[in-house]
Every structure is written in C-alpha cells, then in structure tokens.
Homo-oligomer: A and B are copies of this chain.
Amino acid sequence: MIDRLMSHAAASTDAFNFDLDGDTLREECGVFGIFGHPEASAIVALGLHALQHRGQEAAGIVSFDGSVFHSERRPGLVGDSFSDGDTIARLKGRAAIGHVRYSTTGGTILRNVQPLFAELASGGLAVAHNGNLTNALSIRRDLVRDGAITQSTSDTEVILHLAARSRKPRIIERFIDALQAIQGAYAIVALTNKKLIGARDPLGIRPLVLGELDGRYMLASETCALDIIGARFVRDIENGEIVVISEEGIESIRFADAVPMRPCIFEYIYFARPDSVVNGKSVYGVRKAIGRELAREAAVTADIVVPVPDSGVPAALGFSQETGIPFEMGIIRNHYVGRTFIQPTQSVRELGVRMKHSANRAAIEGKSIVLVDDSLVRGTTSVKIVRMMREAGAAEVHFRIASPPITYPDFYGIDTPEREKLLAATHDLEAMRKYIGADSLAFLSIPGLYRAMGEEARNAACPQYTDHCFTGDYPTGLTDLSIAGPKRFAMLAEAD
C-alpha cells in the first residue's frame, strides 16, 4: 500500500503535493533552453514569457554557472516572477533551461515544480518536460519497490530516477537509458554541467524547435519564443532525436527507430500561438484554412461573421474571406482576465465567462451572425456565448466549430475532462445544437481538417498526425491506464 502526503501551500513557504490520485498529473507546458550566452537566464525568461500561453500556473529556471547550479521556481506568471533584475542576477551562468506549467484550479500549491534537479554520480542533471508519460506510474511503483524515494508525483521525476539508476558512465548515456524506458509524449530540455540537451519522443507528439542567435543555440517549444528575442529558426527537433549542445557545437543522436512523425494535431487547433510555425506549418495559416474548409462544408446565409476571441479569430477570418460575409468584432474580450482565469467549478466558470467576454451590441443588434469558435469541449461556455449574442439582439446565431467533435480524452499532456463530460461524446449533433441554443451548429469534418493541414486525406494506416481526441486512435501504449483507471488517468479544464 502506498500512502499519500498532502503538503499544504502557504505564503512564503514551500509546498509540494504528493497526491498520486490528483486530477492534475498531466499538464500542458512549455520549455526553453539556451547554451553559451552571457545572459542565459534573462533569455530564458523572455522565451518563457513568449510561451506563457502554454502554462500559467508556475514557472522555473535552472542555470549553471560553471561550478554551481542555480534554481528559481515560482507560482504565477513569468513576468511577475522573473522580471526583476535581482532574480535574474541570482541565476548566474551561460547555460539555462526553463519551464512554464498550466494553470491549476486557483490554489497556490506548487505541484511538481520544474525544472527538476538531481545529483547523479556522473554530475548534476536538471530536466524540464512538456508532455505526459503513459507508463510513469508503473515505473514509479517499481522504483519505490526498489528503494527509491520520490519527492513529487511528476512523471518527469521518473526520468531523473531512471538516469540516476543507469549503470552507464556518461550522463548522456544515462539519459538515453531513461528515454528508452519511458512511453508517451515528451519534449524535454535538460542541462548538465557541460551540455544542453533536447529530446523529442519517438513520434514527435509534442513540439520542440532548435533556434540560433549570434551563434548560440537554443531550444523552445514554439518558434514564437525564438521571435521574441529575434533568434533564427533552425529546424524542428526530429521524433526520436536527441540534440546535445555544448562548447563543441551541436550533436544529433537517434535513440529510437526512425518512423514517420505523428505530431499532435491539437497544437494547430487551439494550443500553439498563431504566430508560431509548428512542424513547418504556420498555425495562423492552418486556422485560416480551417475557417475556409468550414465555410465550404457548412455554409450559411448571414450578415456578419463573429469570432469568439481570441482563438476563434483566424478561423473566422478564413470563413469571412471564403464566404464574403463581413467579419466583425461582435464580442469584446476583457484583457484583464486571460486564459489564466480558469475556475475550478462549473458555477464559478459561469461568472468567469461574463467577466471575460462582452457583446458589442452596436455591431450585433438585428444581425444574423455566424459565430466561430476553435473547439467545443463541455459546451458550457458556448451556451453562455450564444445567450449573450441573443441578449445583445442577434437575429440568428449560427455556431461553427473550427475542429471535429472531441470524443476522447487526451493522455499526452493536454488536460481534458473525463469522457462523460465531453459534450460530443454523449450527444448527437441536434442534441448539441439544442443544448447550446444555436439556430444551427456545424463542426469541421476529419477530412476537412486534414485538407486544412494541406493533406489530401488522412492516411488511416499511418495517420500523419495524432488526432486521438477526435478518433480514439492513440499512437502509443497506455500502460498506466490499467493502473489508474481512466478517470484518474485523464481529465482537464475546458479548453476556453
């Protein structure tokens, strides 16, 4: 039997949550690393700021100054924690990595803060991870049985333990040993006393790119983190590839057999920033193409096209350009409530929506509108948006969703609710339309989605992307699913 420790958070105290059963074992995150720069930690802070949309709960940076590793890990936004000169000054050194984590349910608990650090016999190792391992619980049980002491519930810690227990002499070999034992999705940046390391899982599910600025290499989850500092995009890290950056330059190692990449399609639909280029495709371009496909598949006569800001804007522009129906900012977003403001309970969420969006009555009144949103998860937000449009005088509300129906949970780092809470998993189209209160409702089709990605069609035998949330076609084994059960194994806040 394994007991659990709950460490309660408090102002000016540390707090860890060892709750194995918690609903936040999985998270979407962002990572960044740089090697050889005199202001390494300042660069990492800027990179993390550009990746802030990937995680608002907490941020952390570890640097190495030639003899000592320095670490700062804090709750809240990068700008709040890492904008003062003192903090950056403490993070000495010419190499550093950083991490941002997803927002939790409002608590101040520092769960599984990253980057994690361990002293191995071969030297220090700091690791930051975006993704989710699907056999971490199994490995963790074995480790505990074998006398390991685990300090977090993070699947990332498993990587440290596996590297620590490897019998290989060199730290890179130990790291590869660890990667070969794990299953799931991961984009990792790691720092040793000599090297900056990047690694992407065998299918390349989560993104990771290589950049360069004045001859120094850096790694980032998205290209927007290169743009903020004016760095040059070099290339995507490949699936199953490790890159090792050191004073000797850059080295590439394959730790997994070469198979076609199968990146997560949800990065394009919702998660990545529109100005990022993910796996060679502009996110903004894909979203506009989705809008055009959606217009072709589900045209409607209307006066204006209105996006649900901000993630619905590009698809709405594509819809408008394809149909010629004028694009109008019919919903105004309050800038002082960001994505951060995700609330734990359904009831608080209702208040949240009213605080976040408001109808631009002057643009809407008396109009028949096409409302475009990026995705539909539980549907509770959509209900309120449609109602708000009607209260502002909309004559008709036609809802268009810029993705296919979500019918399966994610296990690779995106929090999704349990299956029974996914509206599309339990309702047919007409039932969803009624629930939402729209005059019409349409989703993008799977073929339409692949067309928007520039593919002729989905390759059923070997899909070009992992689209498991829409198809249930999971690309990796799900070892822990039998240990933890689906409820504990997957859940997340609505993607609004």
Contacts and interface: CB of A to CB of B under 8 A. Distances in A.
Interface in A66-120: 67-75, 77-79, 81, 87, 90-91, 108, 110, 113, 117-120
B164 A149 contact: yes
A71 B164 CA distance: 27
A362 B285 contact: yes
A1 interface: yes
Contacts of A120: 144, 147, 149
Interface residues of A, number: 106
A275 B123 contact: no
B285 A75 contact: no
Contacts of A246: none
Given A49-B334, A49-B355, A317-B328, A10 B72 contact: yes
A259 interface: no
B166 A119 contact: no
Contacts of A339: 335
Nearest to A116: B149
Contact of A230 (B71, B74, B113, B391): B391
Interface in A28-78: 46, 49-50, 52-53, 56, 62, 64, 67-75, 77-78
A329 B314 contact: yes
A12 B72 CA distance: 11
A362 B277 contact: yes
Interface centre among A12, A73, A339 (most CB of B within 10 A): A12
A176 to B, nearest CB: 16
Given A5-B124, A313-B329, A274 B360 contact: yes
A90 B7 CA distance: 9
Interface string A1-25: 1111111101111111011000000
A230 B353 CA distance: 13
A351 to B, nearest CB: 9
Interface in A308-343: 310, 313-314, 317, 321, 326-329, 332, 334-341
B2 A52 contact: no
A165 interface: yes
A362 B268 CA distance: 14
A148 B164 contact: yes
Contact of A53 (B3, B52, B229, B335): B335
A71 B313 contact: no
A12 B108 contact: yes
B6 A68 contact: yes
Contacts of A313: 329
Contact of A148 (B46, B149, B193): B149
Contacts of A165: 147
A386 interface: no
A433 interface: no
A450 to B, nearest CB: 19
Contacts of A74: 10, 12-13
Given A79-B336, A341-B79, A50 B358 contact: yes
Interface string A329-371: 1001011111111000000000000110011111100000000
A431 interface: no
B332 A321 contact: no
A191 to B, nearest CB: 10
Nearest to A125: B3
Given A328-B317, A358-B50, A338 B337 contact: no
Given A5-B71, A14-B73, A285-B362, 7 more contacts: A3-B119, A4-B69, A78-B336, A120-B144, A224-B358, A274-B329, A314-B329
